[in-house]
Structure 1
Amino acid sequence: MAAATKEKPATSRKLRRYQLGGYRFISPAVIMMVALIIYPMIYGVYLSFYNTNLVNKWKFVGLKYYLQAFTQSEFYTSVLLTFLFMILVVAGHFIIGFILASVLNKKFVGRTIFRVIFMLPWLFPETVIALLFTWIMNPMYGVLNSILKSLGIISSNISWLGSAQLAFPSVVAVCIWKGYPLVMTMILSGLQGISSDLYEAARIDGANKWKQFLNVTVPGLKPVLTTTIILDSVWWFKQYTLVYTMTGGGPGTATDLISLNIYGTAFNDLRFGKAAAWGIIVFVICYLISKVYRMVLKDE
């Protein structure tokens, strides 16, 4: 009896040491998350209540900047432009990604090589892609104008990024090219998870290709599509690097996405409180986007 009593505390101490070991392993990651994610978010909320330049100006304004966001046309214009940008880019990703994934899901010689080639845009840093296409679209020595002129499509050089009408679609096209590999890879993994027996059963039941797509492919891809569309939409709604490097938000306000607007407010106008408030609103918008997608694409 006494031996059993002594054994129990020893086992309990060993269990506590085992649990403490687990906490020690995860503590570096937790500390990094607190330092790099949680603390900046809390500090951003704190800043949003002040009119401050972070140096010698700290004036409490409460909810002023949040209320201004819903009364200023500048905010609405920038958010609507960002929504349009997100919709076009995500739609382009899914159209191209689905077509390429369907092709790469078939068996043919050199399939692995083509998979690597089509993944390349996602592997390059956004700054490199932006600078590359800035040179390609240069109105004086850009290769795009040279190719189009040699094909007889245009007669004179076009300023793709300097025109208020062409800058936005040009940036959208580059962002589609940069981001489609993620969607392609996710859809390809989903297609490979659908059993060929389901397609065979559908063919036996007399289903044509379109009905097989609607009744077999789409339901099989639904979990993958839900995750992918949420990640892709939120990522491109808050896009900054590509657009800023290519156009800086110009010409005028043609590509002035909300992320660029917030950056300019903070680091050009030194109105960090207003920028923080608008950043918090964008965070809420991104959360609502994911919430709406989950509601629409939920499993019946």
Structure 2
Amino acid sequence: MTQEAKRLRRKEGISAGLMLSPSLILLLITSIYPFFWLFRYVLYDYNGFVAYFTGLDNIKRAFTDVVFWQSVLHTFEYAICKLIIVIPLSLLLAVIIHKNIPGSKGFKMIFFLPTVISASIYALIFTFIFAVFKGPLNTVLQSMHLISAPIDWLGDAKWVMTSVIIVAVWGGVGNYMIYFLSGLSSVSSEVYESCMIDGANARQTFFKITLPMLSPILKVILLLAITTAFKDYQSIMVLTGGGPNNRSQVMFLYIYQLIFGSTSSFNIQIGYATVLSIIAAVIIGAVTVIYNKFAKKLDDVM
């Protein structure tokens, strides 16, 4: 390599570094520094002002915290139920809208609308819908004689998880529908025409052509849906605050309440919340690793 070539390569490297530096600085300030900042308080009782060294007490407490481990189970329940509903529903809507039925653009906008609305806003809307007395949902169900008395959707432990899952599905279905639509748009119409000529019915076309062709984007959508479901807490915080009796408490809502204080207790525990954050990150990491192994086998199935 000549001196001139080396000089040009060095100049290109400096230019690339300068262009990347704003993003790297932002990443350092907003992600990397806070991560290590929290780590130093693992062994402290820290309330945001004063830190007291407690040794391994936070770690010991984490493994005996019944509420936290209940929240882990609730998180898995919430995530699994949400995924079972939202992924097939998003795919079904995408397939229907992709057929360019009359009014499909309007339906696309309606289903995508929750994605551009803050989770706290649509959670407030559903708080009104789920109201016990004169709430729209109870009023409609009673008028149809499906229930004899109003249901406390957000205050009854039997119904609260169902309610928050309904809100989660409504808030996420449009987003994943758009992802599926982008995947469907990449499938050539000639493939479907060939299937019709060969006499394939709609079911055979969907399972033999559409799903295999969507395999690459399906794996990405599933990964996004899994990680998002495990990190959800905003809408639950507005709807129930984790109640009643912690029935709708999930991991990151519990951690949030420890860091910023809950409505029932203003005892801020940043040190202990840091330990729980690490445990939650390990749990999500383990789920992601398991999914990645599953995704590799998905190629063989498809």
**Alignment partner, residue 138 of structure 1:** 131
Q: 5+ residue gaps in structure 1?
A: 1-7
**Alignment partner, residue 210 of structure 1:** 203
Q: 5+ residue gaps in structure 2?
A: 262-266
Distance in 2 (alpha carbons) for counterparts of 1:37 and 1:266: 17
Kindly state the Cα deviation for residue 165 of structure 1 after the two structures are TM-superposed. Answer: 1.3
Per-residue deviation, residues 82-127 of structure 1 (Å, max 9, x unmatched) = 0000111122211221111111010233322221122111111111
Kindly state the Cα deviation for residue 65 of structure 1 after the two structures are TM-superposed. Answer: 3.5
**Alignment partner, residue 156 of structure 1:** 149
Task: Tell me, yes or no, if structure 1 residue 83 matches structure 2 residue 81.
Answer: no
Distance in 2 (alpha carbons) for counterparts of 1:129 and 1:112: 22
**Alignment partner, residue 196 of structure 1:** 189
Secondary structure in 2 matching 1:55: coil
**Alignment partner, residue 264 of structure 2:** none
Distance in 2 (alpha carbons) for counterparts of 1:147 and 1:210: 35
Distance in 2 (alpha carbons) for counterparts of 1:56 and 1:214: 60
Task: Please point out which of 51, 54, 59 is paired with 1:57.
Answer: 51
Q: Aligned in 2, Cα 1:66/1:234: closer, same or farther, shift over 3 Å?
A: farther
How many residues are aligned here?
Answer: 293
State whether residues 119 and 181 of structure 1, in contact with CA within 8 Å, keep that contact through their aligned partners in structure 2. Answer: yes
Task: Tell me, yes or no, if structure 1 residue 44 matches structure 2 residue 38.
Answer: yes
Distance in 2 (alpha carbons) for counterparts of 1:181 and 1:72: 37
Task: Tell me, yes or no, if structure 1 residue 97 matches structure 2 residue 90.
Answer: yes
**Alignment partner, residue 282 of structure 1:** 280
Task: Tell me, yes or no, if structure 1 residue 112 matches structure 2 residue 110.
Answer: no
State whether residues 67 and 246 of structure 2, in contact with CA within 8 Å, keep that contact through their aligned partners in structure 1. Answer: no
**Alignment partner, residue 294 of structure 1:** 292
Kindly state the Cα deviation for residue 204 of structure 1 after the two structures are TM-superposed. Answer: 5.2
Distance in 2 (alpha carbons) for counterparts of 1:232 and 1:48: 30
Secondary structure in 2 matching 1:51: strand
State whether residues 95 and 181 of structure 2, in contact with CA within 8 Å, keep that contact through their aligned partners in structure 1. Answer: yes
**Alignment partner, residue 236 of structure 1:** 229
State whether residues 222 and 297 of structure 1, in contact with CA within 8 Å, keep that contact through their aligned partners in structure 2. Answer: no
Task: Please point out which of 24, 27, 49 is paired with 2:21.
Answer: 27
Q: Which has the larger radius of gyration?
A: 1
Distance in 1 (alpha carbons) for counterparts of 2:289 and 2:197: 39
State whether residues 44 and 280 of structure 1, in contact with CA within 8 Å, keep that contact through their aligned partners in structure 2. Answer: no
Secondary structure in 2 matching 1:47: coil
Distance in 2 (alpha carbons) for counterparts of 1:214 and 1:158: 40
Per-residue deviation, residues 102-157 of structure 1 (Å, max 9, x unmatched) = 11010233322221122111111111101111112122342222222333333433
State whether residues 192 and 205 of structure 2, in contact with CA within 8 Å, keep that contact through their aligned partners in structure 1. Answer: yes
Amino acid at match of 1:91: I
Secondary structure in 2 matching 1:164: coil
Distance in 1 (alpha carbons) for counterparts of 2:136 and 2:200: 47
